[in-house]
Amino acid sequence: MSPRITEQLQATASSGKYKPDLEVERLVGVARYIESHADDRLTLAVLAKRANLSPSRLQKKFKAAFGVSPKAFQDAARLGLLKGALRGGEDVTGAIFEAGFGSVSRVYGEASRSMGMTPASYRAGGVGERIYYAYRDSTLGPLMMAATARGVCFAEFGENRVLLLEQLRHEFSQAEIVRSAGESGIDLDAWIVALDAHLASNAPRPDLPLDLRGTSFQLKVWKFLLSIAEGDVVSYGELATGIGKPGSARAAASACAANRVSVLVPCHRVLAANGKLGGYRWGLERKRTLLELERHNRANRRTK
């Protein structure tokens, strides 16, 4: 968790039925307290006292506003501390206790399920891997695609080649990052050309192998996105229900925002509950263009 996350939560909660001066500020205050004390033992009674609410009322109001219970929010905050410590080079055992988990066995039983891998594997950060990348000035702007031997692990739009390469190296800090030259055995240059052709001239969206990396929840979201047909859209609530987690629309939205593989994992097909575009990490204009492209393609198929 980060201050940016609680700001997003505040904006989301404020858009609902809660009165900012009575409830939202209290709830966001509790969320921020949990973030800053994620490694402490926090009881519902202690948090309720800070919000001047009963424990049962805090539980109900917090979950209604943010989609998760105070305990689940703290677990996520602790997981963020653990990941930060691991990325910072902390040894696994030290990182576990620094994040406030209290025991190694608990992390391997709980946090590893949330991370989609063991803490030791996460700490590796791609160590020993070779990741090839290719760049193209696509129809929707600067585009960089990268792949491991298993498939595409990164496909992002950005401002320019330099910033995109910096982002790739940040995402896979321990891997060897190599420019694709065509002889690698990975058809990356052809893949990025095929993706741009899809964006520019209504060519079919390339069906490429993917190497998706994230938490178990994120992987569920991304795999569901792959099942949404071209030209179709769903709401964040329908997405959450589709993965068997009704009530976790905000968490599903966060998983969409964490997607590293644009277009190929079609998070642009998810809209806000009111039918508006919602968010998109590569810009709403790109999201609008992608949706219009897909609707046009589907309409053309129906007339043939």
Side chain identity at 126, as an amino acid letter?
A: G
DSSP-derived pairing of the beta strands 130-138 and 270-271: unpaired
Read off the tokens for 230. 């071209």
Q: What angle do CA 297, 137, 231 make, to 5 degrees?
A: 20
Q: Are 115 and 215 in contact (CB under 8 A)?
A: yes
- Let me know if 153 is a catalytic residue: no
Supply φ then ψ for residue 125, to 5 degrees: 55, 35
Task: Find the catalytic residue in 30, 188, 267, 270.
Answer: 267
Nearest CA-CA partner of 181 in 131, 129, 132, 130: 132
Catalytic (active-site) positions: 267
